[in-house]
Amino acid sequence: IRTRRIKCDETKPHCLRCTRSNRTCGGYTSLASALVVDKIKEYSIPFKVPGGRFDRQLLHFYCIEAAASLSSFSDADFWNRLILQRCHHQPVIRNALVTLSAIYRDYKSKENSGLESDRTSPQHLQLIARSHKQLRIHLCSPGASTEVALICSMIFYAFEALLGNAVQAIRHLDQGLILLERCQATAPVHRATDDIFPRLTALFASLDIQASTYTNSRQPILSLTSPLERSGLVPVIPEGFTSADAQMLLIKLQNWMFHHLASSHPYKIKGLHLLPADILIERHRLYDQLTKYIETVSACSTYNSRPSTANCLLLRLQARIFRTILAEDIPSLQDKDREPLRECLQDISVILETMSTVSPAQNITSAQRSFTLSTQLVAALYYICMKSNHPSTVEAALSFLRHEKLPSRDGVWDARTVEAVVHGIRHSSKLP
């Protein structure tokens, strides 16, 4: 028997036509989200948005909440101002941001109740397909813009990470990185008046590092250090640098380290006693540069304001983790009087006490999930759990993975998944 089709009348919170005919209306995700949307009296969007009410609601949500999470310990100006300016003039970016906002809103509203909550809904699949299609059409048009493609690649990475699709997220990231590298190598980059390209480059370089921490076999696509810097003729870390420069300097050191470890990997298999002298010298040089960076950032953290202190501690934490990785197989680089992983835990403790994953006005409960893009906190805790020989240190790291202020997901790193993996490994190895 063929069922008569009924057109949705878009009445909130339920379609009246569906209700009267005893049907289930699939047009809305939940009563709670519909009621929240209906409370919007004035949109917090800095420009007039063409299109329907649905898009305006989601862009409003982006402005009041999602942008703050995406820019945690990152470039707030990029996510809060520059990308919104592009939305005003570029429908492709606007629709991609609408998709990201819809996925983030649903992610945040679901509790940490299991893997079922990460299943992609039909509505999300439609929005994702629309975003991909519009970008393809744009790239085939005479006015195709590299900037639009790069921004969309960044947004696609974010919403695939939110959905827990790490492989797909990294694929989008890699496509953006290849495009960015090609533009830098073959053509002069058009500099916008607000200098968005350096911001995009820094953000892509940071996520390039994140993807390589997540996938062991992956090398960063970008190469950020010159032969002169790697040879020691030109220092990567200057005698003094500002907090504004600190993030990019750390990314350069991290990028250098990944490429260095890739070059020395064959000797790790054969035996480190076969490590060529030039690679060993380079490792000591990189270790010294990381040490110099840590000392400078530590000094900055002592006299800055509370938010700036948290930023400095996060940078120091990442540098300490990478320096520990670098010294793993080289006894001459290991300080027997120090416990670097405990020092990292102390940094994480202070960071979690000073950070807030949401603004005070949002009134989010601890059962709801939070998301950041590139703090590397979850990855750092995973490394500590896997490398520490002290049960108390591992237990402390596991407790931080359950901390209410830790992002539930940081880019492609998911805190619950990391905790489950660590418990599984300890159980199979019969560790305490």
Same domain, yes or no, for 82 and 230?
A: no
What pLDDT shows up at residue 88?
81
List CB contacts of 407: < 8 A, sequence separation 6 or more: 69, 72, 357, 370, 371, 372, 375, 377, 378, 415
Instruction: Identify the domain containing residue 319 by its residue range.
Output: 223-338
- Residue 237 belongs to a domain: yes
pTM: 0.85
d(CA 278, CA 271): 16
d(CA 136, CA 32): 35
Same domain, yes or no, for 233 and 263?
A: yes
Q: Are 93 and 155 in contact (CB under 8 A)?
A: yes
What pLDDT shows up at residue 303?
56
Q: How many domains does the chain have?
A: 4
Same domain, yes or no, for 63 and 207?
A: yes
* pLDDT, mean of each 10-residue run, the chain (432 residues): 52 56 53 42 57 81 89 85 88 95 90 59 92 96 93 97 96 97 74 74 96 96 96 92 89 97 84 84 95 91 65 94 91 77 94 64 58 95 95 96 94 97 88 67
Same domain, yes or no, for 127 and 270?
A: no
Same domain, yes or no, for 87 and 177?
A: yes
Same domain, yes or no, for 230 and 201?
A: no
Same domain, yes or no, for 73 and 136?
A: yes
- Residue 352 belongs to a domain: no
Same domain, yes or no, for 128 and 184?
A: yes
Read off the tokens for 332.
Answer: 């001459």
Same domain, yes or no, for 208 and 91?
A: yes
- Residue 344 belongs to a domain: no
Mapped onto helix, strand or coil, the DSSP state of residue 72 is coil
Among 188, 214, 240, residue at a domain's last position: 214
Same domain, yes or no, for 68 and 135?
A: yes
User: What is the 8-class DSSP label of residue 407?
Assistant: -
Counting other chains too, the contacts that 261-267 makes at CB distance below 8 Å and 24 or more residues apart are 261/325, 261/326, 262/219
Which helix (H) or strand (E) segment holds residue 294: the answer is: helix 277-301
d(CA 204, CA 87): 19
- State residue 372 phi and psi, 5-degree precision: -125, 170
What pLDDT shows up at residue 136?
97
What pLDDT shows up at residue 92?
96
